[in-house]
């Protein structure tokens, strides 16, 4: 199971906040109806639905939501990095990631 936590945080008398934190790449999968969540095994070869998740929560955001992830595959270079940014009520997700890498390393 991934080491990522998503929860609603209440700090004092402030608005509730969505907190996502962890040590794995952020991903989401919709659990099909009738499936016990503790027995659900995601299909890592299919789209994880993260962008769709952000679009679904956008109408409920009180401020912009930004998620940043940096990591490596099997502890090797090059690093992967991505940022997802969504504005309250927005219908699209701004996605920024590395677009260039050292060609000599991958030759």
Q: Could you read off the pLDDT of 55-66 as tens digits, one per residue?
A: 888 998 888 888
Which two three-digit tokens encode residue 104? 């000599």
Confidence at 107, pLDDT banded by 50, 70, 90: very low
Say if residue 54's pLDDT is above 90: no
* Residue spans per domain, the chain: 4-97
Summarize the confidence of residues 68-96 as an average pLDDT: 81
Report the distance separating Cα 16 and Cα 48, nearest Å: 26
Mean pLDDT, rounded, of the chain: 77
Q: According to the model, what pLDDT value does residue 1 have?
A: 45
- For CA atoms 74, 77, 78, 80, the dihedral sign is positive
In the chain, the percentage of residues whose pLDDT exceeds 90 is: 6
Q: Where are the beta strands (DSSP E) in the chain?
A: 4-9, 17-22, 65-73, 76-86, 94-97
Angstrom distances, CA of residue 19 to CA of 9, 29, 35, 44, 85:
7, 18, 26, 24, 14
């Amino acid at each position: 199971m991934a080491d990522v936590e998503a929860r609603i945080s209440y700090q004092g008398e402030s608005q509730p906040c969505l907190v996502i934190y962890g040590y794995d790449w952020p991903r989401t999968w919709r659990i099909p109806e009738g499936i016990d969540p503790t027995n659900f095994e995601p299909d890592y070869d299919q789209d994880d639905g993260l962008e769709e998740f952000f679009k679904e929560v956008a109408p409920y955001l009180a401020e912009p939501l930004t998620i940043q992830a940096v990591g490596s595959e099997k502890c090797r270079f090059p690093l992967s990095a991505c940022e997802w940014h969504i504005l309250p009520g927005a219908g699209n997700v701004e996605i920024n990631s590395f677009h260039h890498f050292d060609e000599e390393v991958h030759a």
